[in-house]
A = this chain, B = another copy of it.
Amino acid sequence: MTLKVYLSGEIHTDWREQIVEGAKALDVEFSAPVTDHDASDDCGVAILGTEENKYWHDHKGAMVNAIRTRKGIAEADVVVVRFGEKYRQWNAAFDAGYAAALGKSLIILQLPEHDHALKEVDAAALAVAREPVQVVEILRYVLTGKLPG
């Protein structure tokens, strides 16, 4: 059994690398959005031509990024959504809702101080974790039945 896992959300820490490294012995295929912030912001105009209006500049980029994110979520068995300390992170919550409506198994990786604000998101999740290592342990258990320790 191969588990397909999409890693959505925060792009300013190395949580994805920690999970991928921790799960390297497991039969998991990871996917993720483009995590190069500048490329992600500018991909639309860089490829399809500049826009004077900042709104359309952003819009063209967000739509090009959607080609990747929609495929990643649609093909995933498990969608992990990380909410970090900073920024509004509405795209993370949007991905969680998108994944929930498709019936994906959701794991939310969040800080305790966000618990109340994330309660509707968590209500659609199968696990709420605090640390990337817990996500690795879930993936290991799901694939092998082995618990940590």
Contact = CB atoms under 8 A, between A and B. Distances in A.
A52 to B, nearest CB: 7
Q: Which 3 A-B pairs have the closest CB atoms?
A: A97-B97, A93-B93, A101-B101
A143 to B, nearest CB: 8
A127 B40 CA distance: 15
Interface of A: 1, 3, 31, 34-36, 39, 42-44, 46-49, 51-56, 58-72, 77-78, 83, 87-103, 105, 114-124, 126-130, 134, 137-138, 141-142, 145-149
A58 B138 contact: no
A34 to B, nearest CB: 4
A126 B63 contact: yes
Interface of A is mostly: helix
Contacts of A95: 97
A59 B31 CA distance: 29
A48 B129 contact: yes
A90 B123 CA distance: 12
A91 B147 contact: no
